[in-house]
Amino acid sequence: MELHSRAGSLFVYNNLYLFIPGDSVSVDFVENPSNTFLKNKQLTTPYLAITNRKVSPYELNFFHHLNQHGRVGINMFTFYVNKDPKNKIDHSAISPQQSFQLSVDYLDSLKNNGLFDSKTYPIYKNYLLSAYYNALIQKANVDDIDKKFLIRPDLLKYSFYRSLLHSYVEKSLLRSVNANTINYEEAYSVTKRKFSSQVKEYLLTYYLLKIKENKPEAFPAHLALFNEDVKDMNYKEYINKNFNNQLLHSDTGHTYIISSANQGAKIDYQEYLNGLKGKVIYIDFWASWCVPCREAMPASLKLRKDYADKDIVFVYLSIDNKLTAWENANEQEALHMYKHSFLILNTKQDLFLKQLGLKTIPRYLIYDKSGVLVNSDAPGPDDANLQNLLNYYLSK
């Protein structure tokens, strides 16, 4: 997990933390005097503890200690015991190579003194190496990069390694000055020429998605190339299910929805509403990534149970852009077999959503028994006022 800290709008700090499933974690915020570049601001950084198993705080909060006390190196353990500020090094003027070596020396000192687990040690060392190589790339000095490190599929699970790969392609191979100048079509092509193995397949997938995001008109042609270039079925299934599924495309004149309870059949939203006339309809717009939407789900489930014998239908409409994201969240919320839970197709061009002015979620609607939209900004399921409204429309 990577945690990012900000002071107001300014990015301050990010760290890597390693957990295992089942960990219970407490988070404190402590002053970090190393962040002196913001005058007149008291900056704090996260300091974590795992409460249900024994982990060295120096290991769990490795980067906090490294940043707080400077990249001191070999005698770091003695420094920690004695808290002697004389040992601190001003690393503002040292080279990336010196900074990397001092950081590794500190990491080694922790490991050698029993303060670092041998299983997590290589992960942190690879993090430091990735940061060092990134610094070389920023300085246009890639000769010292071990090219074998750029073909490590075992590290693809870590975002720090993926970021290094992106930086190498975009700043070293393409020589892009900033994100606005990156030609993602060229990035796709150069990846095909310069990389091999699983790293190549990951990068081709990544740059295909970047093409879709930044130049959608070029996506179909590159999707065809992708299906020829990539052999990994996990990548191919992900792309084709989410972005090459004809169900996911609809014209702007109609709103179409699909339901996992109905084998993903494409349904016209207005025809669906017409079929519910005679009942009050409560619409819940949500998405897999929407935290307040997900937090309201238990209250929504209770409401459905409370009104189970009434002429009311609770409808869930997800605006997720990825089919798999909706499917996973739909199942997590126990909606996958509920026949009134749907994914809206082609949300970015959907005319109904534009007319509704749907810019934020959660958002709730109420239709009366005649199918008329009577409340376009209704209370949420955890709002006590909602039941009064529903009871009113049920009585009509």
pTM of the model: 0.65
What is the reported pLDDT for 205?
96
Distance from C-alpha of 48 to C-alpha of 17, rounded to nearest angstrom: 9
Q: In this model, does residue 299 exceed pLDDT 80? A: yes
Residue 61 CB partners (closer than 8 Å, separation 6+): 15, 47, 48
Per residue in 203-236, pLDDT (tens digit) is: 999 999 999 888 888 888 898 899 899 999 999 8
What is the per-residue pLDDT for 85?
A: 44
Structure token pair of residue 283: 């619409």
What is the per-residue pLDDT for 95?
79
Query: Contact, 369 vs 393, CB < 8 A?
Result: yes
Question: How many whole angstroms separate alpha carbon 309 and alpha carbon 303?
Answer: 11
- The answer, yes or no, to whether residue 139 has pLDDT greater than 60, is yes
- Helices then strands, counting H and E runs in the chain, come out as 16, 11
39 within 8 A of 75, measured Cβ to Cβ: no
- Alpha carbons 4 and 160: distance in angstroms, whole number: 13
Residue 257: is its pLDDT beyond 70?
yes
Residue 92 has pLDDT above 80, yes or no: no
C-alpha neighbours within 13 Å on the C-beta side of residue 22: 2
DSSP class of residue 169 equals I
* 100: pLDDT strictly greater than 80: yes
Query: What would the mean pLDDT of 284-313 be, rounded to a whole number?
Result: 95
Specify the higher pLDDT residue, 73 or 255. Answer: 255
| Residue 13, token pair as written in the block | 């700090």
pLDDT tens digits, 36-53:
444 445 567 788 999 999
Phi, psi for 4 (deg, rounded to 5): -120, 135
Mean pLDDT check: name the lowest of 262-266, 271-275, 302-306, 349-353: 262-266
Distance between CA atoms of 239 and 225, rounded to whole angstroms?
12
> For the residues 173-199, what does the mean pLDDT come to?
86
Asked whether 133 and 139 are in contact (CB, 8 A), the reply is no
> What CA–CA distance (Å, rounded) separates 353 from 330?
21
pLDDT above 70 (res 276):
yes
Confidence of residue 334 (pLDDT cuts 50, 70, 90): very high
Q: Which of helix, strand or coil describes residue 109?
A: helix
**What tokens does 372 get?**
């008329």
Tokens 């071990």 sit at which residue?
146
Considering the domain delimited by 256-395, tell me its CATH architecture: 3-Layer(aba) Sandwich (3.40)
Q: How far apart are the first and last CA of the chain?
A: 52
Computed on alpha carbons and rounded to an integer, the radius of gyration of the chain in Å comes to 27
